[in-house]
Amino acid sequence: MIRFEHVSKGFWVGDSYKTVIDDLDMELPTGKSLALLGRNGAGKSTLIQMIAGNVPVTSGRIVVDGSMSWPVAFGGSFHGQLTGVQNVRFVARIYGVDTDSLVRFVEDFAELGKHFRMPVRTYSAGMKSRLAFGTSMGIDFDTYLVDEVTAVGDAVFKRKSREVFKSRMERSGAILVSHSMNDVRDFCDAGVVLENGKLTYFEDLEEAIDLHQALMR
């Protein structure tokens, strides 16, 4: 369950104030895999970061029930001076999971080779995303926050990412940001559309997609 209690978020851009989330007061259901849809610049990634706790709300509060992943395609939470394996061990201790098991999973999955034992500051953006995705998929969360994760890596890695993510969705919920309606249909069973700071929930995924595509036109 994710509950928004009169949540607002905005930024100053020069002399003007841009509202991204406008007095959002609603509850998203438990156990659903939700597509988060909206036009470019609507605030989807900001909303994901707010749910994760990485970006503060301007007003109101967000209440989360159950364990929540960090944004899966986001590698900014790793310490640049530590190696990939050191970061994974740190995450394992924070979340109380078996350290060696998580390291083995991430090393095998992320395919970073010798870079896994090099400082994260030397990684490309794609390598950081692989590390973040592998680490989050190695932990059983109640809800996964995903921001275009299937776009990371080559065709083989994309296919592997889709397979492991789909297996996680058999027992967990998710909020997925994606520009691919094929991915949305593959992974999600309901949808929310963000437009002009307002979030609208659709139990019928196709209704959410129809509204999103109409807005895009």
- The pLDDT tens digits along the chain (217 residues) read 899 999 999 999 899 999 999 999 999 988 899 999 999 989 999 999 999 998 999 999 999 988 988 887 655 668 999 999 999 999 999 999 999 999 999 999 999 999 999 999 999 988 888 898 899 899 999 999 988 755 566 778 888 888 898 899 888 999 999 888 998 999 999 999 999 999 999 999 999 999 999 999 8
- Decide: 173 and 34 in contact? Cβ < 8 Å: yes
Does 60 share its domain with 153?
A: yes
Residue 191: C-alpha distances to residues 90, 97, 118, 180, 216 (Å): 34, 31, 39, 14, 16
Does 146 share its domain with 87?
A: no
Does 43 share its domain with 150?
A: yes
Helix, strand and coil in the chain, % to nearest 5: 40, 30, 30
- Does 50 map to a domain? yes
- This prediction's pTM: 0.85
Does 113 share its domain with 173?
A: no
Does 147 share its domain with 131?
A: no
pLDDT at site 74: 58
- Does 53 map to a domain? yes
- Does 72 map to a domain? no
pLDDT at site 161: 84
pLDDT at site 26: 95
Does 102 share its domain with 146?
A: no
pLDDT at site 151: 56
pLDDT at site 152: 62
Does 58 share its domain with 150?
A: yes
Number of domains in the chain: 2
pLDDT at site 150: 57
Helix (H) or strand (E) holding 120: none
- Decide: 109 and 138 in contact? Cβ < 8 Å: yes
Query: What residue numbers bound the domain in which 203 lies?
Result: 1-67+142-159+168-217
- Decide: 163 and 156 in contact? Cβ < 8 Å: no
pLDDT at site 73: 62
Does 181 share its domain with 149?
A: yes
